[in-house]
Structure 1
Amino acid sequence: MLIACPACDATYQVPDHLVAAGRQMRCAKCGHDWHFVPEVAPSAERRPEPVEPAPVAAPPLERPVVSTPPTDAAKPGKLVLALAWVASVLAVAGGVAALFLLRVPLAEAWPPLERLYGWVGL
């Protein structure tokens, strides 16, 4: 939309959506402030055109596909998941056993560990 300053006639190109409902304006050239309200001529007024609904086509008749839930045999990932859990538990148990069985060499190598092993008795 082309807007002109009423004081100095400087023109500005402003997007319609910024001034559609009216807006307070200030001229960058002369500094004049004014409230701009767009003029809407009755003939230029936009009226929505009636939209005819598109014809609805009937969906093709098909038999529904019935799926069966997967069985345990169809899930190879279930065995892998169980083996991963077993391996994790064995790794943690092995780490705890190593800390206990190797407590003396570990305490000699790193003396602050003696506080951890103080209750076990070296």
Structure 2
Amino acid sequence: MRIVCPACHATYEVPPALLGTGARRVRCARCTAEWTPAAAPAPEAPPAAAAPADAPPQELRIPDPHPAEPRRTGSRLGEVRPGEARLEAEPKPERRRRAPGRIGVEAVAALVISLAILVGLAAVVFVWREEVMAAWEPSKRLFAWLGLR
């Protein structure tokens, strides 16, 4: 059975057995609005087969329309009250992507931090270039090419 939240128009696919036959209040998982959905038409029962006259009567079991639901703890939005169905909203549509050629704030921050680290590393190598040349022989050619020897 498909029900729709009257407040935010979120749609839910709910098995009719979960709602039962009586009026039952539900809460929207997206906006927490509460309402009583319209009752679904009762499904037609298949015709019962006639039992033989000499057969003992069979026990009739009626399923509980309101099975016990575990109470969820946590935030107010996550709680399920007795007699209330917890519904899951259909996934939201994918968010619009950023326009091509535009860089986000996170990317700019990462670029600035990376450049600051590289400049700092170059400054450390420049200040301690004598120690670097003593520890790593190929760096002598690099410093000589840069004119820093």
Classify the TM-score, shorter chain.
Answer: 0.3 to 0.5
Richer in helix (by share): 1
Tell me the TM-score normalized by structure 2. Answer: 0.29
TM-score (norm 1): 0.34
Task: Give 1 or 2 for the bigger CA radius of gyration.
Answer: 1
